Structure formats: structure tokens, C-alpha cells
Structure 1
Amino acid sequence: MEKTFVDFHVIQTVPPSCVNRDDTGSPKTAVYGGVRRARVSSQSWKRAMRMMFRENFDESELGVRTKKIIDLVAQCIRVQDDSKTEEEALSLAEKVINTAGVSTKDKAAKALFFMSTKQAQNLAELILRDGAPNKKDAQLALNKNHGIDVALFGRMVADEPALNTDASSQVAHSISTHRVDNEYDYYTAMDDMSPEDSAGAGMIGTVEFNSATLYRYATVAAHELFKQLSEEPAALARTIKEFARAFVTSMPTGKQNTFANRTLPDAVMVSIRKDQPLNLVGAFEEPVQNEGGFANQSVSKLAAYAMNTHGSFSCPPEKAYAVGENMAKLTGAENVSFKELLDELEKDMLVRF
């Protein structure tokens, strides 16, 4: 099977916001090209994508990342055999989970575990059928029927590497294309029941924030995802389409009620490659300078860097789509609307696989 990588490149401007905080409550940042950049972690954006998947996939097609996997399997046991009491179901669920090599304590996994709904059903069916299944069968039940999100984002089990699942996608930390300095919002809140002539506020505080034009990148190894989805072309095509929708339009929820920072991209480019994935963040190693805004300059720099890289180091993509007239014009990619992009990706995957 030929390698096929689908690369996603997004330029997106985010207004004053605190999308992704560190342990001190400050917006995350990184130094790149010698200057401080705004940063949104890949974990933050992947969670936003998984939440959007719930709108477009049935629950049975997805996974749950939780410590409460005993409860999850116990529910499936009681659905399959309603004669089992809740306590019996919990005991059987913990037994089969431990047999697979997942450690538990106080009726919960010791660490977050990513399990698809179907895998929970597999374990329930196994323990009800065999009573005392062996480790091989228990692990087989957990290593087949991966949910869409488990296949895309992978699963790591430190205590039992046999249960690890390689991710078929990678999502980069988003960084600003330019230098960013964090700012502070000093706020006060009044007590609605205080007398009108009372002095002082009921609460005061500060919120740290920044604003930035971000470069966002992700890639999907379609050939690997195809294997994980039982080599079903329709499932692959739909998953790539929904990955594209979620990556482009989702937004992490950090401080959204405070800043209402829900924006959509300024430009998107999607490339289908046979050689290797290609992150184009090098376009911004020299930060964009503010000359009337960052978005248009960022699009131009990204396009120029892509064309130079394709000519000097790698092959041009087999196919490229652009949402945004300027991006299409500068790269030669096919200019499409976002809806057309989703439809074209779905059709392209069906033809290839």
C-alpha cells in the first residue's frame, strides 16, 4: 500500500484571548526564531477536535478517555446480561480489565485510559462468555475496533505497551507568526446588592491575555488510518473529511466566556503527499513584522516558503487545495470553498483507497 499523507496548513487570527493556559494561568508561549511567540498546545486543540467529533460521529464510533473504564465495561455487561447486579457487573469488569494488563485501584484505572465504546462491549462479551479469559484474548478485545479518535490520536499505556496504539495523525503546537507580548486585563466586579453609595468593588483581579495570528499544522497518515479502520474506504474518507472539519473550525474553550475569541481561519491549504509530511513552520522562523496587520503577510510568507521548499528539498504535493483566493494564487493550489474542500477530500480518499 502506497504512503499517503494529508497535510493541513492554517493561518488563523485570534483576538485578545487566553486560549490555552500554563500552570500559572498565563497564556502559553514559546521562543522561536529568537522571539517570544503565542502558543496553543496540540493537546488543547486535539481535545477541541474530539469534542466536535461528537457532533458528527455516533457515540458507538468514538472513544472515551477516562479512569472510569470499569464503570464503562460494567454498563456493557448489564446491557448484555440484565441478570447481573451492579456489583457483579463491576467485579466482572474489573477482572477482565486487569486480565488485559490495565492496573486499577478503588474501582478505577490508575491512569486515564482511551477506550472505544466497541472495545468496552468486546470486553463485556468476553468475560460473560469465558468467565476467566486469558490475557491474550483480553488484549485482543482492546486492540481491535478502535474508535475514530483512538485511531487518529493514539493510545499510550505505560504499564502494558501491548495495548499501545500508534496515532495515525499528528498535530503541531500552534505558534504565532510574529512576536507576541502578553498583556493584563485588570477587572472589577460590583456586588449587585450593595448600596448605590457604597465604595469599592465586590471583587478585583487580573487576567493575562494576548492576541496573535497563528500558524497551525496537522497531518494524517491516511494509509495507516486505513489499516486501523479495517480497510474500509468509506470509513477512511469520512474520517479524513471530519478531521479536516474539526481541525479547521474547532476552537479550544479556554476563557471563551471572557473573550469570545471564536474565529475561523484567514486561509487554509491542504496538501496530499506521497513522500513525507511537511510542516511549513520554517516560513516564520524570521517573525512577520507588523505593517498594517499580520494575516496577509503570513499567508504570503507561508506560500513563498512552500514553493521554495517544494523546489529545493521535496517534491510538490500530488494535489493541493486552498481556501482563500490569495493562498490559491500564490501556491497554485486549487481554489475551493471550505465545503468544497471537505467534499473533494472525501472523494479523493475514495479514489485512492
Structure 2
Amino acid sequence: MTRRLYIDVHVVQTIPPANTNRDDQGNPKEATYGGVRRSRVSSQAWKRATRLHFDDQAPETDRASRTKRIISELTARIARNTGVDRDAATRIATTLLAQLGLSQGKKAGDTAYLLFYGNAQLDTVAALVTDNATDLAAMDDKALTEAVEELHVAEAFSTGHPVGVALFGRMVADIPKLNVDAATQVAHAISTHETQLEFDYYTAVDDRNEQDETGAGMIGTIGFNSATLYRYATVGLAQLTDNLGGDTDAALGALDTFIDSFARSVPTGYQNSFAHRTRPALVAVVVRTDQPVNLVSAFEEPVSADAGIQASSASRLAEEHLTAKQVWGDTPLFEAASHTFTPRDPKAKDTVEAITQAFGEPVTFADLRASLRARLTTVAGEPA
């Protein structure tokens, strides 16, 4: 697939009092937009939540890992596959990965930075020495280095990318051959309205207090806020297909997985304290051929809380999309929305009408994904 196709995903989602993504002071992250303070959840936080969500649904070999402890991970595989002892497996693993030129970290055995790889890719590297690990373990360091230098370690990380690496890419500044261009961009989620930082003052009582003892065993505070968030991500299908070795079916499957997990996932910061997991009120998907378009300008003027914020935010988003089509002459290849608003609710009637006018008749989330895949499958079979 060579034609440019960008799949934009727009989400409106309300999060109750929570601290899903904290700053260096331990408070919820914020940003100034439209002249007021907004709640913010970083793109990195939601990327990781999305990746963990789709990894949870996948077999172990199809998952990705991001770690400084790649030598230890390879050591475990070599020891398990060959039966050599841990020390011997560590020598072999270290020598194999030395071919990549990874900078060493401060802690022995760690790399200087997190390396993002597929579990199946590391399995491939381990398999390179399965048949001769015992012989390699008996060699001195010089002979071991010479024995493994012809093995294609770097190539193992250049193909067979898992969904996570194919979508989010891999950046290794000093080793360009390991880089993978990301197929996905994820915006920082921001509230559609002004927010105020609040604090929960909490105490914990010692269950073993004597009867005459009073007071708390611990006192503390946690910063929190609540917000209706606008979330946005876009996927370049051509880049995703290229990252997956030109396999269009695999790319469409990865796209479907991403949309499902991006919509359903929530960063887990302080989740036991706030139980803040919700699902979106609106998910809209637009396929464009020119460029990705973030619709955050719909909320440059903050939504006011006259009678709730969620429905007004969804209306604003729909109106911004419709206006952009009219002004710029956009003709998306596909547009659809799934939402929880019902015209039976007088307060939501205008919202439903706005969404329908902008994205068409609403569909279930499952039907949205299915119709998107069907449309892209048809497009993939057409001449570029």
C-alpha cells in the first residue's frame, strides 16, 4: 500500500476525581490552553496504557518490552533453551548484544537507555546459539567474540516487529540501524474546560490503637482533579504497513487493535485511590488522504459548565469537524462515530444531531471498527 492514508481517532471522555498522570510534585499534570489551566494527561502515559492493553490480549511472543535489562532477558532465554548455567549464558548474551553497540548503563548488565523490542525478536536472537551454546561457553572471550560476530543479531531486530514497535517506533540515537519510524502520533489529552487543582486530605487509623489512644496513624494529601478530556491520535497506514514488512492484512489488524485499545485504556496512576476507569462518551474516526488533523481548536474557548460538560464537548467537536470540511473542502474517505448520547434525553438531542451531521448516523463501537476495516480493505485493493 503506497497511497497516503491517515486514520484520525477523536475521543471525548470524562474522568472523575483522579490523579492519572502526576507531575514532579505528585499533582495531576496541567497545561495552559485558551488562556486557562487545563487538566492534562501526557501522550507517553496514554501510549503506554494503550500498549499494555493490547499486549494483555496478545500471546507472549507477540508482545513488546521496553527495558534496560535486555541482557538479562536474553540470558534467561539462552539458559532456558540450552541448559548452560547462568554465568555462561550471561557471557554469551553480552557478547551477542555487543554487536549492536549499545551504550552501557551505570548498573552492571544494564544498557544506558530503554530498548524497545519484540519478545519474538529476542527469541530469534537466543535461537542463534541454541545448537552450540555449550561449545561457546567453553571459549575464552576473544574466541567467543569471533565465533558470534557472523551471527545476524541486528537483523533480528529489523524485522518481525510486534504491534507496539510498529505503531510507536523505536529511537536509538547512537545506533540508527535500530531505529523504526513511528506510524502513530498521540496528542497530550487536555480537558475541554478550565480545571482547578484540589487536594484530598486523608488519614489512616491504626487498627491496633489502645482504647485511650486518639488520632491518626498517618496523615497525607493527594492532588486531584476531574475533567472531560479531548483525546486524539493518528495512524499513518503506509508507515504501519512498511513497519510490518509490507503486510497489509497485518497492518489493518494492528490498526484495529490500536483503535480498540486506545479507546478502552486508561493510565493507572493512583487507580486504587480513585477507581477512575471510565469509557469514552464519543469515539469518532476519520480517514484522510492529505494530512492528520487534530480538532483541539474546538476547545480553545473553554466549555462552560452550565449543565454538564460532556455533551457540550461532543457537540463542539462535531461542529469543528463539520466546519473544517466546509471551509477547507475536505472529503474524508471514511468518517463514523460511536457515542453514548441518546436523542430521548432533551439535553442531548442537539448533541446527537450535531454528531450525526458531522460523522453520519451513529454506530456501535464494534460496527465502527468493522466498517473502517472493510473500507480500508477496499481502498487497499484500488490503484494508488
Which TM bucket (shorter chain)?
over 0.9
Q: Is the Cα–Cα contact under 8 Å of residues 318 and 359 in structure 2 kept in the other structure?
A: no
Question: Cα distance, 1:164 vs. partner?
Answer: 1.3
In structure 1, the gaps of 5 or more residues are none
3-state SS, counterpart of residue 300 of structure 1? helix
Question: Cα distance, 1:103 vs. partner?
Answer: 2.0
Question: Cα distance, 1:138 vs. partner?
Answer: 3.0
Partner of 1:18: 19
Q: Which whole-Å deviations, capped at 9, do the CAs of 1:122-181 have from their partners, x for residues lacking one?
A: 32344568833259x432222111111011111111221221111100111000001111
Question: Cα distance, 1:79 vs. partner?
Answer: 4.7
Partner of 1:3: 4
Partner of 2:226: 211
Partner of 1:309: 324
Q: Is the Cα–Cα contact under 8 Å of residues 174 and 217 in structure 1 kept in the other structure?
A: yes
Q: Is the Cα–Cα contact under 8 Å of residues 233 and 349 in structure 1 kept in the other structure?
A: no
Q: State the distance in 1 between where 2:334 and 2:300 align.
A: 26
Larger displacement relative to structure 2 (298-307 or 116-125): 116-125
Q: Does 1:77 align with 2:78?
A: yes
Q: State the distance in 2 between where 1:29 and 1:295 align.
A: 19
Q: Which whole-Å deviations, capped at 9, do the CAs of 1:45-83 have from their partners, x for residues lacking one?
A: 111111111222222112110111112222333455x15
Alignment equivalent of 1:133, drawn from 127, 138, 149: 149
Question: Cα distance, 1:89 vs. partner?
Answer: 1.8
Q: Is the Cα–Cα contact under 8 Å of residues 66 and 112 in structure 1 kept in the other structure?
A: yes
Q: Is the Cα–Cα contact under 8 Å of residues 179 and 287 in structure 1 kept in the other structure?
A: yes
Question: Cα distance, 1:189 vs. partner?
Answer: 1.1
Q: State the distance in 2 between where 1:89 and 1:314 align.
A: 61
Q: Is the Cα–Cα contact under 8 Å of residues 180 and 243 in structure 2 kept in the other structure?
A: no
Identity over aligned residues, as a percent? 41
Q: State the distance in 2 between where 1:246 and 1:161 align.
A: 29
Q: Does 1:86 align with 2:113?
A: no
Q: State the distance in 1 between where 2:235 and 2:361 align.
A: 20
3-state SS, counterpart of residue 45 of structure 1? helix
Q: State the distance in 1 between where 2:15 and 2:69 align.
A: 35
The structure having more radius of gyration, on CA atoms, is 2
* Cα separation, partners in 2 of 1:316 and 1:195, compared to 1, 3 Å: farther
3-state SS, counterpart of residue 131 of structure 1? helix
Scaled by the length of structure 2, what TM-score is found? Answer: 0.87
3-state SS, counterpart of residue 148 of structure 2? coil
* Cα separation, partners in 2 of 1:59 and 1:301, compared to 1, 3 Å: same
Partner of 1:261: 276
Q: State the distance in 2 between where 1:352 and 1:94 align.
A: 46
* Within-5 A mapping of 1:1-353: 1-80=2-81, 82-105=82-105, 106-126=108-128, 131-133=147-149, 137-313=152-328, 315-324=330-339, 326=352, 328-353=355-380
Q: Is the Cα–Cα contact under 8 Å of residues 103 and 110 in structure 1 kept in the other structure?
A: yes
In structure 2, the gaps of 5 or more residues are 133-145, 342-351
3-state SS, counterpart of residue 146 of structure 1? coil
* Cα separation, partners in 2 of 1:202 and 1:83, compared to 1, 3 Å: closer
What RMSD, in angstroms, separates the aligned Cα atoms of the two structures?
1.8
Q: State the distance in 2 between where 1:205 and 1:347 align.
A: 53
3-state SS, counterpart of residue 92 of structure 2? helix
* Cα separation, partners in 2 of 1:197 and 1:34, compared to 1, 3 Å: same
Q: State the distance in 2 between where 1:165 and 1:31 align.
A: 32
Q: State the distance in 2 between where 1:277 and 1:245 align.
A: 19
Q: State the distance in 2 between where 1:26 and 1:260 align.
A: 17
Q: State the distance in 1 between where 2:189 and 2:36 align.
A: 15
Q: How many residue pairs are counted as aligned between the two chains?
A: 351
